[in-house]
Amino acid sequence: MRVLLTGAAGFIGSRIAVALRSAGHEVVAVDTMLPAAHGPAAEPPPQCHLVDIRDRDALKPLLEGVDVVCHQAAVVGAGVDAADAPSYAGHNDFGTAVLLAEMYAARCTRLVLASSMVVYGQGGYDCPEHGPVDPAARTRADLDAGVFEHRCPIGGERLRWHLVVEDAPLRPRSLYAASKAAQEHFALAWVESGAGSVVALRYHNVYGPNMPRDTPYSGVAAIFRSQLESGQRPRVFEDGGQMRDFVHVDDVAAANLAAVGAGLDGFNAFNVCSGRPVSIMEVATRLCEARGAGEPVVTGQYRSGDVRHIVASPEHAAQALGFRAAIDPRDGLAEFAFAPLRQPSHT
């Protein structure tokens, strides 16, 4: 198939391009080369068009003969304050709206959309007394006292996390999360109008070789790596008990390949995760052990907007897409301890 791949020069997009071409697909690669992600003077790699998907005239000819669009391009990160909202809305949401309009004009009816776990907000929790509940917000008094777990909004009991499934409500809690939820809503409306079909892939914590170093596009694994390389021990917020699902970038590429080949009708959302939750402390410890460094430093510090636990079920993707992550995070993180990282955007 002929696949238009946006964000093709990025950490995830570049691995998807390799997977698609290896599977025999023809890839039309495009990237805006945002300085925050690639550096101020970065050039697109060979076989990649320098195109802003908000530019309808530039996008139009690239969609000729395209069977499916794999949309990875996005501004990422939590956002610093409300002043960042136009950037998220402009790149992520307006960009997606333009892409959908041009797909409709070109009669391209299939979209694979990079979404994110952040659309779920706080994640899923159970109370030992009251069953599944929406957690009460963590109070500053609790956080200052080192009480990091959510409490039941009914009786105040300590909550336990559970795996989130795809029909959980979308409750974004950051500008980035709001923009990803809006992308899904635009895509769903496009499907409902009869324009085509969408597979939305909700990525969890993606890591792997060539992950960005020290940029807004860095994840916590890359931050820990940078601390280790500078001779510091990783600094872990809260008590390190925050649970996450770390999924290798090559597994994310495999999920996209499965979605491109699935041919599903309607709107379908899938968690893209390893199915093997690990704590942030375990991530830091695994990297330290692999590099022969000292133990991580548990700071007890916190960021008021951080989510305590967010982990999800991989079963729907396994059943409907035939996708299961192949790389156990414990093995992948040990390898990641020495994997190359992309240089900071200011160099």
DSSP assignment of 117-156 equals GGGGTT-EEEETTTEEEPPPPPPHHHHHTT--S-B-TTT-
> 56-81, pLDDT tens digit by residue?
999 999 999 999 999 999 998 765 67
* Residue ranges in 95-139 assigned as alpha helix (H): 95-105
CA 256 – CA 328 distance, rounded (Å): 19
> So what's the pLDDT on residue 81?
76
The model's pTM is 0.95
**Contact 157/128 with Cβ under 8 angstroms?**
yes
Model confidence at 347, in pLDDT bands (50, 70, 90)?
A: very low
Partners of residue 68 on adjacent β-strands? 3
**Contact 94/134 with Cβ under 8 angstroms?**
no
pLDDT value at 238 more than 50: yes
Mean pLDDT of the chain: 94
Amino acid, res. 53: I
Structural domains in the chain? 2-123+164-337 (3.40.50.720)
> So what's the pLDDT on residue 107?
98
For residue 202, give Cα distances in angstroms to 40, 76, 132, 141, 343: 29, 14, 22, 33, 26
> So what's the pLDDT on residue 199?
98
Give the lowest-confidence range in 23-37, 75-89, 285-299: 75-89
- What is the separation, in whole angstroms, between the first and last Cα of the chain? 38
Packing angle between helix 175-192 and helix 95-105, nearest 10 degrees?
20
Q: Are strands 124-127 and 131-133 parallel, antiparallel or unpaired?
A: antiparallel
**Contact 274/216 with Cβ under 8 angstroms?**
no
Candidates 89, 107, 119, 269; CA nearest to 188 is 269
**How many CB atoms lie under 10 A from the CB of residue 61?**
11
**Contact 203/241 with Cβ under 8 angstroms?**
no
Cα angle vertex 270, ends 264, 275, to 5°?
135
